[in-house]
Amino acid sequence: MSAPTTTPHPTGTAGGSTTRRRRRGPRTWLAALPLLVFTALCFGIPLGALIFGAVTRTDSGSGVTSLTGEHVARSLQGPYLGSLIGSVQLSVLTALIGAVLGVLIAQAVVTSRSQGLRSAALTASGVLANFGGVPLAFAFIATLGISGVVTQLADLGSLDWDLYSFTGLAVVYLYFLIPLMVLVTVPALDGLRPQWREAAQNAGATPWQFWRHVGLPVLAPSLLGGFVLLFGTAFAAHATAAALVGGSVPLVTLKIADALSGNVLTGQENVALALGLDMILIAGLVMAVYLPLQRRSARWLR
């Protein structure tokens, strides 16, 4: 990683010419300055405003701003707490199902001999994992909504099927979570070298013993990392849920959107900020788990 251009040249170290040699250092630093300034302004300031607003209260009469834990406390009570819990439940459930199904599909793709199937599955996963948001919601409304094609054909209405519910939302979320898991797992499964299985077989191990002592321990960081990534993705998703269920399922992203667009009592903006802070803390926790896991799994993936 060290850049040869900046290593001090032995010829220049004796005299005053070192200053000239060093000039490239500050100059390259300047090229990175716009990016740093931009992130500080456009990311740092809103983030700062969010945190500041979440922990302070401004008295409307005197204009005095004081520190308070009131908003954060409010965001952890009643319907707000319910929405946080709802989001976490939905994310854990969908991430769990998505991780299991994603691994099954990835395993099927990796063990198949067909190169065509493999590249088709990977390309399709790459596309589908990015297919969240509004279009996905409408595709599912057309399919499994009240007058959706599949709903009509299979007469799901009589079976109490409801797309605009917790279960419905989970079915929709899986549409982009499973491909995401496939993308994360295929390289990990590739890293499971055939030689290890052969060695285990030669040593007299059963397939179960192979998975128990070699396969799963090697895969564990990638699988956990994939689960956490899926959780984070489902947790932060807003557009799909907003286009699909509006307000009927308690989700923290929908509550924040409600509070921001003024659908609730005035003076709730700070609670929205506190909810945003709660979300960042949870997402930050998730990343703190994900990044070390990813680094650990990278060891096996060449």
Partner 1 sequence: MAAMTPTAQETAAVEAKSPAPDVTRTRRRRPGIRRGLVLGLAGAYFLVPLVASFVFTVHVPGQGISFDAYTQLLSADGFTESLLLSLGLAAATIALSLLLAVPALIAVRLGSPRLRPVIEVMCMLPLVVPPIALVTGITTVLRWGPEHLSRTPLYQTFIAVQNEKFPVVLVLAYAVLALPFVYRSLDAGLRAIDVPTLVEAARSCGASWPYTVVRILLPNLRSSLAGAAFLTLALVLGEFTIASLLGFQPFAVWIVSISGAQARMSVAVSILSLVITWALLLLLSRTGTASAASAPSRKES
User: Considering only residues 75-104, where is the footprint of partner 1 by CB under 8 A?
Assistant: 101, 104
Q: Are 244 and 148 in contact (CB under 8 A)?
A: no
Output the CA torsion 67→70→75→80 (10° steps). -150
Among 13, 17, 18, 38, binds partner 1 (CB under 8 A): 38
CB of 77 to partner 1, least distance (A): 19
Choose one: 10-18, 48-56, 70-78, 209-217; the region binding partner 1 (CB under 8 A). Answer: 48-56
Among 150, 156, 205, 264, binds partner 1 (CB under 8 A): 150
Among 8, 13, 18, 42, binds partner 1 (CB under 8 A): 42
Among 128, 170, 200, 228, binds partner 1 (CB under 8 A): 128
Among 133, 167, 205, 296, binds partner 1 (CB under 8 A): 133
- Nearer to partner 1 by C-beta: 135 or 292? 135
Amino acid identity for residue 53 in this structure: G
- Nearer to partner 1 by C-beta: 63 or 78? 63
Q: Are 21 and 5 in contact (CB under 8 A)?
A: no
Choose one: 9-17, 65-73, 130-138, 209-217; the region binding partner 1 (CB under 8 A). Answer: 130-138
Amino acid identity for residue 294 in this structure: Q
Binding mask 1-30 for partner 1 (x = CB under 8 A): xxxxxx-----------------xx-xxxx
Classify each residue of 69-90 as buried b or exposed e, where b means 16 or more C-beta atoms within 10 Å of its C-beta: eebbebbeeeebeebbebbbeb
In whole angstroms, what is the distance from residue 246 CA to residue 240 CA?
A: 10
CB of 264 to partner 1, least distance (A): 14
Helices 78-111 and 216-236, axial angle in degrees (round to 10)? 140
Q: Which of 11, 32, 8 is nearest to 21 (CA)?
A: 8
CB atoms under 10 Å from CB of 6, counted, come to 11
- Nearer to partner 1 by C-beta: 158 or 261? 261
The residues near 43 (Cβ < 8 Å, ≥ 6 apart) are none
Binding mask 164-203 for partner 1 (x = CB under 8 A): ----------xxxxxxx--xx-xx--x---x--xx-----
Residue 239, interface with partner 1 (CB under 8 A)? yes
Residue 163, interface with partner 1 (CB under 8 A)? no
The residues near 216 (Cβ < 8 Å, ≥ 6 apart) are none
| Both tokens assigned to 49 | 């405003």
Residue 143, interface with partner 1 (CB under 8 A)? yes
